[in-house]
Amino acid sequence: MAETQGKVITCRAAVAWGPKEPLVIQEICVDPPQEMEVRVKILYTSICHTDLGTWTGVNEAERAFPRILGHEAVGVVESVGEGVKDVKEGDYVIPAFNGECGECRVCKKEVSNLCERYKVDPMKRLMVNDGGTRFSTTTNKDGGLSQSQRIYHFLNTSTFTEYTVLDSACVVKIDPNAPLKQMSLLSCGVSTGVGAAWNTAKVKEGTTTAVFGLGSVGLAVAEGARARGASRIIGVDANASKFEKGKVMGVTDFINPKDLTKPVHERIRELTRGGVDYSFECTGNVDVLREAFLSTHAGWGSTVLVGIYATPRTLPLHPMELFDGRKITGSVFGGFKPKSQLPSFAQQCMKGVVKLEPFITNELPFEKINDAFQLLRDGKSLRCLLQIAKFLKK
Report yes or no on 109 lying in a domain.
Answer: yes
CA 110 – CA 340 distance, rounded (Å)? 11
**What is the extent of the structural domain holding 365?**
9-187+355-387
Instruction: Provide the pLDDT confidence category of residue 145 given band limits of 50, 70 and 90.
Output: low
- Higher per-residue pLDDT: 310 or 127: 127
242 and 106 fall within a common domain: no
CA 43 – CA 270 distance, rounded (Å)? 48
Report yes or no on 233 lying in a domain.
Answer: yes
182 and 241 fall within a common domain: no
30 and 111 fall within a common domain: yes
196 and 315 fall within a common domain: yes
Share of the chain above pLDDT 70, in %: 95
Label the pairing between strands 135-139 and 208-212.
Answer: unpaired
> What Cα–Cα distance (Å) separates residue 156 from each residue in 5, 102, 119, 120?
21, 16, 9, 7
Whether residue 324 is predicted with pLDDT greater than 60 in this model: the reply is yes
Q: Is the pTM of this model over 0.75?
A: yes
- The pLDDT score that the predictor gives to residue 313 is 81
Report yes or no on 39 lying in a domain.
Answer: yes
Whether residue 394 is predicted with pLDDT greater than 50 in this model: the reply is no
Q: Kindly tell me the burial class for residue 261, based on how many C-beta atoms sit within 10 Å of its own C-beta (0-12, 13-18, 19 or more).
A: exposed
What is 167-219 written as a DSSP string? EGGGEEE--TTS-HHHHGGGGTHHHHHHHIIIIIS---TT-EEEEE--SHHHH
> Are 189 and 72 in contact, with CB atoms under 8 Å apart?
yes
Q: Which residues pair with 295 in a beta bridge?
A: none
- The pLDDT score that the predictor gives to residue 270 is 97
Amino acid at 89: E
Number of structural domains (the chain) is 2
CA 346 – CA 356 distance, rounded (Å)? 10
363 and 282 fall within a common domain: no
For range 358-382, the mean pLDDT: 94
Mean pLDDT, the chain, as a whole number? 93
150 and 245 fall within a common domain: no
